[in-house]
Structure 1
Amino acid sequence: MSSLCDLINRLITIAIENTLITKRDAIYVRNRIMALYRVTEYTVPSEKCFLNFYETLDALADIAVNNGFIEDTLAEKDIFTSTIMNVFLPSPQGIEDDFWKAYEHSPTSATSYFYQLSQNSNYIKMNRIAKNVEFRTSSPYGSLDITINLSKPEKDPKEIARLKNVPASHYPSCLLCIENEGYAGTLSHPDRANHRTIALHLNNKDWMLQYSPYLYYNEHCILLSQTHEPMSLTKNSFYNLLDFVKLFPHYFIGSNADLPIVGGSILSHEHYQGGCYEFPINRATTLETFTLNTYPSVTVEILNWPLTTIKLSSPQLEDVAECTNYIYETWKTYSDAEVNILAETDGTRHNTITPIAKKTGENYVMYVVLRNNRTSDEHPLGIFHPHADVHHIKKENIGLIEVMGLAILPGRLLNELEEVKAYIQGQEVEVKPYHLPWAEELKALYGGSEINAFIQAALGKKFTRVLEDAGVFKLNQEGLTHFRKFIHTL
């Protein structure tokens, strides 16, 4: 079993290898970590420790538990190890200076530096993200990406019990506020001691760039407003997105819709999500192409995509922003009762969009996804929301990431799908009641093919249905007729 000194030395060695620090920093860092353990004596390790980065941090957390510094819960271990890793990090200003120095070489160099730093400091916990189950499945709209999310751990029962006695806190105001940078963390607020952000000025407003600690795709970043203000979609939003891809042309960036049901999980803080990843929507084929008289430089396409999507592209940033806003403002007041689209009910607005910006060569591109959040007696959670028969797979809001064709499915599915597989193959197992109708349907269809491929294809079909439910104009003859009717109003 490695001693404290062995583990500190090992962590310093790894940090030097990962260029977090230099050999010149080693003694200082060692002393600061020793202070966290309240020890004043250091013994030079006699044997080499071969634990990897994550094993070393886990062992250091265990020593803190054994010494009574923290409770034996994942949350407290995370807080403690984040505090350790913070010792290795420069100040926010130092990181920003290095970021912009790298940007002088290329935008890709800058983001690669910051992304690697966020991993090497364990702010992005890559060992947990590696547990996610990921695969690609086919659909009528091209391939879709499926992730069963296992990276965000469930709370320990001991943590849940202790949370009942934790007083309410109003600092930081929310998970996205700039006050999270360097915040130690509590049982009710995640550890952020090793969290860093980059200040940006876009479209005459101040923003902060950070990475998501639970990556849903490559270089999953978040652009957040420096002020705590609610999500909104205005003409400025579209300029914000396009200014971002002008600065980082290798990234996409998008916004969740600004209304409940069709919006994201956090509507209390203005933010966007981006990254370096090709989503299924980017591979979607074109059904029709045209131009609008008011914006002749903009190529407009209707995409073969389950959610109703208009793709705009032009070398003129301003034209794409203004055209996006024109479509948005037209859609906000548009009704077509024959296909259940009402712009408002008793003064409550229902129509909005999910905008996604990227740069392709010299062209600025905006995907404008039409959304509507109406409910009905038949569909109380949303007419254009996953319907009841797919809730056993996905009941949550269809936000930006799902809109683009990447399913983020709950971790519970991993074990539940094993039960479904066994049931399909005729074994005596208990299937969750909400999966049983699906399992029976699959059992009748199963012809003895490879079971994992069979269940993945079936899951892909369910996710396709999830997306089709969220489309306001369905891609059938009736839906396309009504879609063209809307396009004609433009």
Structure 2
Amino acid sequence: MGAPLPAPEEVRAEFDRLLAQDAEAAVAYLHDLGASSGYLDEAAVARTIRWTAASPYGELEITINRSKPEKDPRAIAAAAARGAAADAPTGPSVPRCDLCWENEGFPGAPGRPAKPGLRIAAIELGGERWGLQFSPYAYFDEHCIALSAEHRPMRIDAPCLERLLDFADLFPFYFIGSNANLPIVGGSILSHDHFQGGRHVFPLMKAPVEREVALAGLPQVGCGVVRWPASALRLASHDRAALAHAATRILEAWQRFSFEPCGIVAHDADGPHNTLNPIVHREGALYVMHLVLRNNRADDAQPWGVFHPGAQLHHLKKENIGLIEIMGLAILPPRLARELPAVERELAKAARAGRTPQEAEALLLEREATAPHAAWAVSVLARRAAELACEDARAEAIGPVLREEVGGAFARILACTGVFKCDASGRAGWDAFIKKLG
């Protein structure tokens, strides 16, 4: 680790002093502490591979994060099903989960990483004590985490929406949002209530509204369906209380909504299925809230989730599609930093040699790094052989063709999450849901 840090209570006191004067200075102080201590590994963040890709929904952001381990969504769901007991400490001073405040300065234990450089500032959200820290994975600038002081499961409800708005008032230069609270569509940690935020404008925030929605009794709140592959509503108002009221109305209507033509079932023997990702940012005095509608139902035909990417896309992304990705920033697993250049080289050789897709597939299947991508790769070869033959396939390169194709695959992944698809059934589903909003 790097430079020694002040004690946690000293950090909290200094953060409070700065926050009373200038919120930007307060978060800069906390971020600088994490960087100087080595907790925020800026060298690892710099190794993240990033590019943008055009899509029918605007420019998407693609990253291969080399420091974040890949998780299986079934393991996440199993941990959530076990509940709080699964997070029981293995010793008297072992944190219950990776987000608990007890991680601050934790020396490490089996199954729990050491975090000697972590410091958490105290903030108040919804009249409760919450913490603010910065993420060591840093998916974007100043990627922060707000976490409840209490170890409790995530909930998406009216108090959650108020806490998000409180955060936006405290730090109007950051966006803030919540992962969904259910397996399959939720984040990687469902057992500890928390939000993610930071200094970033996501593709979802730039997408246009394609359909205005009037909310009865709330003329001061603009509402519309966003032109986006996931099913999203955008609310905007200068009146915070009215915005919160509108968002709560939409949340409660969605929690009860079923529409079988789209495969939407709100509740069955497995429990509730409808939830959402709420995301807030400020544009001066204007509050903007995105509500992305999510459903976590699974069935025999789609065991990974009716609204989760199917197995044909798992070579690129198997994990839950969480808050950050639903806004258009792909967080792809570190293995792709090795696998995609290998695919690139094999496709370039196949294109130059004039191999058939069948011949190329046989060669791709022979190698561990390329085998998972074989079916997808040969479809790319069949469509874009001439371009691939001209690519400079260097050892570490992911060329323009594969970058575009990965971007297209990410757009399809996002479309899988959409509860209302861009088709006749999806339009009918939107109509039926909007009627419920009154």
Q: Name the TM-score class by shorter chain.
A: 0.7 to 0.9
Asked if 1:116 is matched to 2:32, the reply is yes
Deviation per CA, 1:294-325, whole angstroms, max 9, x where unpaired?
32211001101110000111111111112111
Higher relative contact order (Cα pairs below 8 Å, separated by 6+ residues) = 2
Deviation per CA, 1:174-198, whole angstroms, max 9, x where unpaired?
1111111111123421121121010
Deviation per CA, 1:435-461, whole angstroms, max 9, x where unpaired?
111111111122225460110000001
Letter aligned with residue 18 of structure 2: A
From 399, 424, 430, give the equivalent of 1:483: 430
Asked if 1:291 is matched to 2:203, the reply is no
- 2:396 aligned partner: none
When the two chains are superposed, the root-mean-square deviation of aligned CA atoms in Å is: 1.8
Report which of the two structures shows the higher radius of gyration computed on alpha carbons.
Answer: 1
- 2:378 aligned partner: 440
Q: Normalising to structure 1: TM-score of the pair?
A: 0.77
User: How far apart in 2 are the matches of 1:440 and 1:384?
Assistant: 26
User: How far apart in 1 are the matches of 2:273 and 2:21?
Assistant: 45
Cα drift, residue 485 of structure 1: 2.0
User: How far apart in 2 are the matches of 1:290 and 1:235?
Assistant: 21
**Is the 8 Å Cα contact of residues 69 and 333 (structure 2) preserved in structure 1?**
no
Cα drift, residue 419 of structure 1: 1.9
Gaps of 5+ in 2: 71-88, 351-362, 393-398
Cα drift, residue 153 of structure 1: 7.1
Aligned-residue sequence identity (percent) comes to: 41
Between stretches 455-464 and 118-127, larger displacement belongs to 118-127
User: How far apart in 2 are the matches of 1:153 and 1:346?
Assistant: 33
**Aligned with 1:480: secondary structure?**
helix
Asked if 1:467 is matched to 2:414, the reply is yes
- 2:285 aligned partner: 362
**Is the 8 Å Cα contact of residues 261 and 425 (structure 2) preserved in structure 1?**
no
User: How far apart in 1 are the matches of 2:346 and 2:326?
Assistant: 32
Letter aligned with residue 459 of structure 1: V
**Is the 8 Å Cα contact of residues 208 and 227 (structure 2) preserved in structure 1?**
yes
Deviation per CA, 1:209-258, whole angstroms, max 9, x where unpaired?
10111111111111111011111111100000000001100011111111
Deviation per CA, 1:339-387, whole angstroms, max 9, x where unpaired?
1111111261111111111111111111000011111222111010011
**Aligned with 1:425: secondary structure?**
helix
- 1:455 aligned partner: 402
**Is the 8 Å Cα contact of residues 128 and 152 (structure 1) preserved in structure 2?**
no
Superposed, which structure 2 residues align to 1:133-282 within 5 Å? 133-152=49-68, 168-169=90-91, 171-282=94-205
User: How far apart in 1 are the matches of 2:348 and 2:208?
Assistant: 37
- 1:380 aligned partner: 303
User: How far apart in 1 are the matches of 2:307 and 2:377?
Assistant: 25
Cα drift, residue 415 of structure 1: 1.5
Distance 1:153 1:388, change over 3 A: closer
Distance 1:153 1:481, change over 3 A: closer
Deviation per CA, 1:126-159, whole angstroms, max 9, x where unpaired?
11111111111111111111111112479xxxxx
Asked if 1:317 is matched to 2:240, the reply is yes
Cα drift, residue 102 of structure 1: 2.9
**Is the 8 Å Cα contact of residues 213 and 434 (structure 2) preserved in structure 1?**
no
Letter aligned with residue 145 of structure 1: E
**Aligned with 2:338: secondary structure?**
helix
**Is the 8 Å Cα contact of residues 356 and 367 (structure 1) preserved in structure 2?**
yes
- 2:356 aligned partner: none
**Aligned with 1:356: secondary structure?**
strand
Gaps of 5+ in 1: 1-80, 155-166
Distance 1:274 1:298, change over 3 A: same
- 1:59 aligned partner: none
Between stretches 109-118 and 307-316, larger displacement belongs to 109-118
- 1:99 aligned partner: 15
From 131, 145, 148, give the equivalent of 2:47: 131
Q: Normalising to structure 2: TM-score of the pair?
A: 0.86
